[in-house]
Structure 1
Amino acid sequence: MPTPIMEDYLQALYQLEAANGGIRVRTSDLADQLEVAPPTVSSMYATLADAALIDHEKYRGAATTDAGAEVAVETNRNRHLLEAYLSLECGFRAGEAEREADTLEHHISDRFVEAMEERIQNARHASDSELGSRADDSARIPAECDLLADCEARSTVVVRGITEYDPVLEATLSRWGIVSEQPLTVLESPTVATTVVSGLESGNMVVLPDAIAAFVTVSHTPEPSY
């Protein structure tokens, strides 16, 4: 099982790969990203390669394997799920939720992940019931929009809003760069119930649990005509 430091390296490596269009990541680039010395990265590359989590070739950089990408995405996803859960369900302020999520992301069980997702989904369904006539998705979502969680990989979309107005949810999504009129590209996800997007102003990739991505409405960008 990967250690927390291995998970941190895999997340950073996967993030750089996504930002560079899948190009292998040089040792110096990952060292700059993590603010560590290149020899430290080289040592961790050897550890990750021995665990079959990355493919590393001297002078050609490194790339996550399928197993490494899955670890990176699951860890990133868990962090965002924790931050959302702590903000939405536990009343944590933004900075508090981020700090707690940073601490806990490496130490939560699959059962706890499922429980958080279920709690968020149940809260959404309860809100639907209270709204009566808006209880089904077709009533809550504008005709020209889809849910981000339902978008296929390689889709290009524009964020239009959230299905239920909640200032805490809106602020949480905004911290991640998911704001109205923001164009996004949906990437392939190596794990289920997960939506991976790029194209944010920060240049970062964001991994959203579908329990959260199901709140975000988007419209598709028309295919260019030539």
Structure 2
Amino acid sequence: MASPAADDYLKTVYAHTEWQDSPITPSQLAAKLGIAPSSVTEMVKKLAAAGLVSHVPYGAVRLTPTGEARALAMVRRHRLIETWLVQEFDYSWDEVHDEAEVLEHTISDRLLEGIDSRLGHPRFDPHGDAIPDAAGTVVREPFVLLAEAPVGHTGRVLRVDDRDPALLREIEASGLGVGHTVIVTAEGIELDGARVTLPDGAAEAIWLTA
């Protein structure tokens, strides 16, 4: 199963449960990958036969320990490349996802470790997602989704979902970014004592420290 397609499946299964606990279903996997459900079913069977995922018909798809290790290796590649593009080539945070999707399958392990060393072994990518280390260890703080945070909660922006470039640009335009400390109010959030008007969908795409 040494193929970019298999790696994309494993990475998507991992990412689905990184910030919430519900395992991914085949239909959700198909939607995230933009692939027909029948194609997903066939690939999941192959991944299961290779010992990379566990799956029962019509049930959730879960990574095995071997599958998780491989997924973490791909996540590391993706997020290091995103960080590299922002820091070394002046990409903005809404431009790097698609570039990293291509480059993660092409660069050598030697170049990847060289990038990691040049960047000073970063722990987080531009969107706040944790970068696994070379051993696959991930360190992440306790978190809460902004949409689920109670009024009065004070927290630092840990992560902003990178799936929607337009939403990323709107969030950036609002003045909010990873690392900012905000207070949740009945109307939204406050940053440095000023109300921040967030775009539609932002509360479901921003995670705060718990």
Q: TM-score range by the shorter chain?
A: 0.5 to 0.7
Q: Residue deviations 1:24-83, cap 9 Å, x none?
A: 432212112222221111000011112111011113221111121222222122112112
Query: Do the aligned residues in 2 keep the contact of 1:15 with 1:204 (CA within 8 Å)?
Result: no
Aligned sequence identity (%) = 27
* Counterpart for residue 147 of structure 2: none
Cα distance in 2, alignment partners of residues 122 and 15 from structure 1: 21
What do the CA deviations read for 1:186-212 (whole angstroms, capped 9, x no partner)? xxxxxxxxxxxxxx945599xxxxxxx
**Aligned match of 1:121:** 120
Q: Aligned AA for 2:7?
A: E
Residues 91 and 9 (structure 1), Cα distance of their counterparts in 2 relative to 1, 3 Å cut = same
Residue aligning to 1:11: 11
1:155 and 2:154 correspond: no
Asked whether the 8 Å contact 2:157–2:178 carries over to 1, the reply is no
Counterpart of 2:64 in structure 1 is: 65
Count matched residues: 155
Structure 1 residues 203 and 41, CA gap change in structure 2 (3 angstroms): farther
Counterparts of 1:135-150 in structure 2, within 5 Å, are: none
Structure 1 residues not aligned, in runs of 5+? 124-147, 162-170, 184-199, 206-217, 222-226
**Partners of 1:85 and 1:116 in 2: CA distance:** 7
Higher relative contact order (CA 8 A, sep 6+): 1
1:56 is matched with which residue?
55
Q: How do 1:71-150 and structure 2 match up within 5 A? A: 71-92=70-91, 94=93, 97-121=96-120
How far did residue 7 of structure 1 move? Answer: 1.0
Aligned to 1:181: 181
Within 2, Cα distance between the matches of 1:202 and 1:76?
22
Contact 1:13 1:64 (C-alpha < 8 Å) held by counterparts: yes
Q: Deviations over 1:112-138 (max 9, x none)?
A: 221111111199xxxxxxxxxxxxxxx
Query: Structure 1 residues 66, 204: closer, same or farther in 2, change over 3 A?
Result: farther
RMSD (CA atoms): 3.8
Q: Structure 2: state its 5+ residue gaps.
A: 123-129, 132-137, 145-154, 159-167, 184-201
Q: 1:81 to 1:50 in 2, by over 3 A?
A: same
| Residue of structure 2 equivalent to 1:210 | none
Shift of 1:160: 6.9
Aligned to 2:28: 29
